[in-house]
Chain A
Amino acid sequence: MKILKLIIILIPLLFIAQCAQFGQRAPSGQGISLNFLKNQPPIDLLYDNQNFRVGLELTNYGFKDTKASVCVYDTVADFFGGIPSNVCEQVQINAAEKSGNNIIPEVKQVYFPSKSQTYFYKEITKGMTTNIISDVIYPYETKANSQICIKRDENVKTTGVTCELSSAEQVIQDSAPLTVSNLKKDIIPRGNNEISLLITFDVQKTYGEILDKNKISQPTDEDKLIDINLNLKGITQNFICNPNKAGRIVFKENQKTIKCEAILTLSQDYIVNPLEIMINYAHKVSKSTGAIKLVIEEEI
């Protein structure tokens, strides 16, 4: 009886332990995260003329060496000192490494104005607060893979393989700022071994802001354009995706459905081939200290 009680207690504990372990797993390939280093700046209050620097820790979970644009700014006018407008720095951060199933992210620390220099607020008035904000913008490529079966006609035998003219397909991808979901394949036979292959999928934003990768240094809200390329490996990359604006996709929403089409000729009844979907864009992540109280001498 005691053993039974022990088992009843142990089983939920095991489940909890396992879940906790999952929770601790490092996010894989999800780009760059941004955090303020402790007390850089102090997040509660800053005194008039108190020197401070902004220390940032960038963590790259992505598997590509990345050149990121890091900017800091505050919400107080330049007259009061603090952080001048448009303070940005280009930072090179190496790719994360894989060690078995684990991801070892690359960590880099960046200081503003520099490691040995500081900012300070001056001539502040009673009751003032500031908010120090940091942005990191970097190019990112989402890669999603799927094995799809393509057959040349409806009535061909595909013994041992489930191969329909229309089917939902499984997607394998690392987590990323933009992810691919609801992948669907439709084959339209055109005769003479020719088919039209339609690939439909949703592009979904997971976090941050999506921008045009060609405008990392001067991002604008006007054209949030991303590039989508499909590669039916070895066979064709000539997919035309819609809706497009001069060949690029406007991505202003949190989710968008994309339809891509290619014409293929098959000499066999069917083939199973990897399909790779690559989405290129810039990702912007912001971090704010929250309101920092600015304290004048009389208040001390």
Chain B
Amino acid sequence: MKKTIIYILLISLVLFGGQCAQKQKAAEGPFVGGAKGVDIAFIAGSPPTEFSQTDTVPVKVLLKNNGEQDINAEDAQVKVYGIYYPNFGLLDQYKGTSSILRGITQFEKEGGEQQVEIGNLKYTQPVTNFEDITLRAKVCYPYETKSQIKACLGSLEIKEKGGEQICELTGEKVKSGSVSAAPIQVTSVNQKPYAANQILFEITIQNSGKGDVYDPSFGCIDFEDLVKRSDAENIVNVEVNPADVKCSFLESESNKGQIRLTTGKKILSCRKTVEATESNFEQNLNINLNYKYIDRASTNIKIREFTS
């Protein structure tokens, strides 16, 4: 009996120890990493979950930047939606943040927070008994995903001529910490030799958040318009450096351009010509993504009929 207890204790210690060791594992890249951007939530009590039809109640949301990109004042914009505004005494307009919303860093694990007051809600319609309503809010903000991928530059030509193989020419190059925390992620960079002196990069860009992504050149208000939105929807601006990397973008072949995600994902093909050297070598492949992102939150409220 005693032996069994000792065994259980030992196994538990090993399991706990293993978990701690895993948690302490350092990122291999310069970024914290993660798939979060700006989170939005209604502030408890604003509005209250239940109130009378005669009450005027505040509507406030809390924005928290859990990604690694700072957002300037006024750039993150918030509005309630999905209701007929005059019924609630609220306005059909975005409200911007009043100051910078700082992102997380290796040293600051908590991102910046800001409360945005949307307005005061006063239900203007007659109520019989009660009405259950879901109040929804959305945040629209510009964001950037940065990535620093250690690519292996070399070619079949170098390899076949017996050049030194310092790094792996073929395979996955995205490591932990090589992509900054943001809702749009570079989830894979798979490289392979292409022709005699070229490297092919297959870069997977994915919407890893819960929201929607849009062309950053559009304003948040533009996404209310069906035509403008269909132009902007799922468009991400991509810039790959070094500048001699050529990718197949929507408009042309370049190191910068636009892609359109299909079902939240796009595999972008890029090529780089490698000069003849004595050996292959590692070089940073910087892939920066720019976009506008919209995330949402909701809360349920009950508006009761006023009884004196």
* Neighbouring B residues of A234 by C-beta, 8 Å: 84, 86-87, 124-125
* Neighbouring A residues of B134 by C-beta, 8 Å: 161, 272
* Neighbouring B residues of A283 by C-beta, 8 Å: none
- A224 interface contact, C-beta 8 A: no
- B265 interface contact, C-beta 8 A: no
Contact B84 A235 (CB under 8 A): yes
Number of residue pairs spanning A and B whose beta carbons lie under 8 angstroms apart: 54
Contact B226 A156 (CB under 8 A): yes
Q: Provided the pairs A147-B132, A160-B136, A270-B82 are in contact, do residues A233 and B226 lie with their beta carbons within 8 angstroms?
A: no
Contact of B84 among A152, A161, A271 (CB under 8 A): A271
What 1/0 mask marks residues of chain A from 147 to 159 whose CB sits below 8 Å from any chain B CB?
1000011001101
CB distance from A197 to the nearest CB of B (A): 13
Contact A271 B131 (CB under 8 A): no
* Neighbouring A residues of B212 by C-beta, 8 Å: 157, 159
Contact A268 B224 (CB under 8 A): yes
CB distance from B41 to the nearest CB of A (A): 14
- Complex Cα gap A1–B86 (Å): 65
- A206 interface contact, C-beta 8 A: no
Contact B131 A268 (CB under 8 A): no
- A267 interface contact, C-beta 8 A: yes
CB distance from B21 to the nearest CB of A (A): 39
- In the complex, which residues 168-195 of chain A have their Cβ closer than 8 Å to any Cβ of chain B? 193
- Complex Cα gap A152–B225 (Å): 11
Q: Secondary structure at chain A's binding surface: helix, strand, loop or mixed? A: loop
- Complex Cα gap A159–B307 (Å): 36
- B81 interface contact, C-beta 8 A: yes
Closest to B295 in A: A159
Contact B87 A267 (CB under 8 A): no
Contact of B81 among A98, A143, A268, A276 (CB under 8 A): A268
* Neighbouring B residues of A60 by C-beta, 8 Å: none
What 1/0 mask marks residues of chain A from 236 to 259 whose CB sits below 8 Å from any chain B CB?
000000000000000000000000
- Complex Cα gap A143–B87 (Å): 19
CB distance from B235 to the nearest CB of A (A): 15
- Complex Cα gap A233–B84 (Å): 9
CB distance from A152 to the nearest CB of B (A): 7
Contact of A273 among B83, B124, B211 (CB under 8 A): B83
- Complex Cα gap A193–B86 (Å): 18
* Neighbouring B residues of A98 by C-beta, 8 Å: 307
- Complex Cα gap A233–B92 (Å): 17
Closest to A276 in B: B128
* Neighbouring B residues of A159 by C-beta, 8 Å: 211-212, 296
- In the complex, which residues 275-308 of chain B have their Cβ closer than 8 Å to any Cβ of chain A? 296, 298, 307
- In the complex, which residues 251-300 of chain A have their Cβ closer than 8 Å to any Cβ of chain B? 267-274, 276
- A59 interface contact, C-beta 8 A: no
Closest to A161 in B: B82
Contact A152 B226 (CB under 8 A): yes
Q: Provided the pairs A153-B226, A159-B296 are in contact, do residues A272 and B132 lie with their beta carbons within 8 angstroms?
A: no
- A200 interface contact, C-beta 8 A: no
CB distance from B132 to the nearest CB of A (A): 7
Contact of B82 among A235, A268, A274, A276 (CB under 8 A): A268
Contact A160 B226 (CB under 8 A): no
- In the complex, which residues 89-124 of chain A have their Cβ closer than 8 Å to any Cβ of chain B? 98
Contact B307 A274 (CB under 8 A): no
- In the complex, which residues 91-143 of chain B have their Cβ closer than 8 Å to any Cβ of chain A? 92, 124-126, 128, 131-134, 136
* Neighbouring A residues of B81 by C-beta, 8 Å: 268-269
- Complex Cα gap A271–B86 (Å): 12
- Complex Cα gap A159–B131 (Å): 22
CB distance from A273 to the nearest CB of B (A): 5
- Complex Cα gap A271–B84 (Å): 6
- In the complex, which residues 127-173 of chain B have their Cβ closer than 8 Å to any Cβ of chain A? 128, 131-134, 136
Closest to A97 in B: B307
- Complex Cα gap A159–B125 (Å): 26
Q: Which of B124, B128, B296 has the most CB of A within 10 A?
A: B128
Closest to A151 in B: B82
Q: Provided the pairs A159-B212, A272-B134, A274-B131 are in contact, do residues A233 and B125 lie with their beta carbons within 8 angstroms?
A: yes
* Neighbouring B residues of A147 by C-beta, 8 Å: 131-133
* Neighbouring A residues of B83 by C-beta, 8 Å: 271-273
Q: Which residues of A contact B (CB under 8 A)?
A: 98, 143, 145, 147, 152-153, 156-157, 159-161, 193, 233-235, 267-274, 276
Task: Give 9 CB contacts A-B under 8 Å.
Answer: A147-B132, A153-B226, A156-B226, A161-B134, A161-B136, A233-B87, A269-B81, A269-B224, A273-B87
Closest 7 CB pairs of A and B: A234-B87, A233-B125, A234-B84, A273-B84, A271-B84, A235-B84, A234-B86
A234-B84, A267-B92 given; 8 more Cβ-contact pairs under 8 Å: A143-B128, A157-B212, A234-B87, A234-B125, A268-B92, A272-B82, A272-B83, A274-B125
